[in-house]
Amino acid sequence: MKITDMKLYHVKPRWLFLKIETDEGISGWGEPIVEGRALTVATAVEELKRYLVGQDPLRIEHHWQIMYRGTFYRGGPVLVSAISGIEQALWDIKGKFYNMPVYEMLGGKVRETIRMYSHCGGETPETIAANAKKRMEQGFNAIKIGVDAPVRQVDSLAFVEGVVAKFAAIREAAGSGLDIAIDFHGRVSPAMSIRLAAALEPYYPMFIEEPVLPENVDALVRVAQSTSIPIATGERLFTRWGFREALEKGAVAIVQPDLCHAGGIFEGRKIAAMAEMHYASVAPHNPLGPISLASCLQLDACTPNFLIQEHPSMAEKWDLGEGYLKRPFVVENGSVAVPQGPGLGIEINEEALIERGYAGDWDTPRLAYEDGSFAEW
């Protein structure tokens, strides 16, 4: 079997899908994307295509090594995201070739259901509490909220009180049965993260995500040592090498590799094994499309230290692949059943990809402080 072609689809709201075709009629799907840099990643995929066309798609690890190590410069979001989407598609092909799910080839499933969490927002405490209850009605027993931006390096007491008021409103409305995580999104300084964590501790957050930017692991260590709240990070770390220092220094309790950025499904499994040695859990990051979700579910099914899976919620109708997948995933009692089909366990509706296509020019929002200076998104 040989790879014959690789086709890219820019899909609303901000996704990039890849279809790899073979001479035996088996095709596989992946999601190679950097949000706000879809056109750049598409170019990287086209460059890798020159090597891949004509190759045996079943030699996944061999191709990964060549794509990652085959030039002098390695790593980074663009190259590794391109490799990630290709790797997902190759696993999809391999699973279809052997007629088994990807997780069966990675050791077999260790659970029957996969716990999910959804996003939840709102401008006021009352609104966000009402939205949290809607998520519970939709079947979720865990959600994640965010810290409003921008956040100053040392922000006011009123800002802290506003964050706490929203969290407290959800806790009061939903009770202790709902797990609530909070995403600092790397937009908070270490000093403010420590203050916010102390104020939030009485309300028992499930975890704090990206309390500081990922470049300085020692800053993350300081935050982690200041609070009892578990720290999660990893969406902007690439390959197992990117996670090594954070795990070794005890900076993280929950690793969040993004399988569209960190190197793909098997690289995610290697990261999970590293985390297991450090008694850390795995909660794959995923604010993207249904192929990304399908890839995550394959990892979640076979990973002993899996904790919970982020659920894409860019647009509610598309959360579980409605329109894009011929059989969308279904959340019941806060979980999705382990997929049963071969490969990634999904069938893509290509007509929907064409119908909802766009130029690929979605850009990252840019924020500023009151004085006009740049603020982290």
Could you give the residue numbers annotated as active site?
185, 285
Closest C-alpha among 291, 300, 288, 289 to residue 347? 291
Q: Is the dihedral of CA 146, 149, 153, 155 positive or negative?
A: negative
Say if residues 264 and 64 touch (Cβ distance below 8 Å).
Answer: yes
Residue-by-residue DSSP string for 109-146: -S-SEEEEEEE---SSHHHHHHHHHHHHHTT-SEEEEE
C-alpha dihedral over 57, 58, 64, 66, to 10 degrees? -70
139-143-148-149 Cα dihedral, nearest 10 degrees: -110
**HSE of 159 in the Cβ direction (CA atoms, 13 Å)?**
15
Neighbours of 21 (CB within 10 A): 19
DSSP labels, 194-208: HHHHHHHGGG--S-E
Distance CA 15, CA 7 (A): 14
Indicate the burial class of 113 (C-beta count within 10 angstroms; 0-12, 13-18, 19 or more). Answer: middle
Q: What distance in Å separates the CA atoms of residue 242 and residue 35, rounded to the nearest whole number?
A: 19
- Distance of alpha carbon 143 from alpha carbon 178, whole angstroms: 8
Q: How many CB atoms lie within 10 A of CB 67?
A: 22
The answer to whether residues 146 and 182 touch, using CB atoms and an 8 Å cutoff, is yes
Task: Name, in order, each residue with C-beta under 8 angstroms of 89's C-beta and a sequence gap of 6 or more.
Answer: 18, 19, 20, 28, 29, 30
Percentage helix, strand, coil, to 5, in the chain?
40, 20, 40
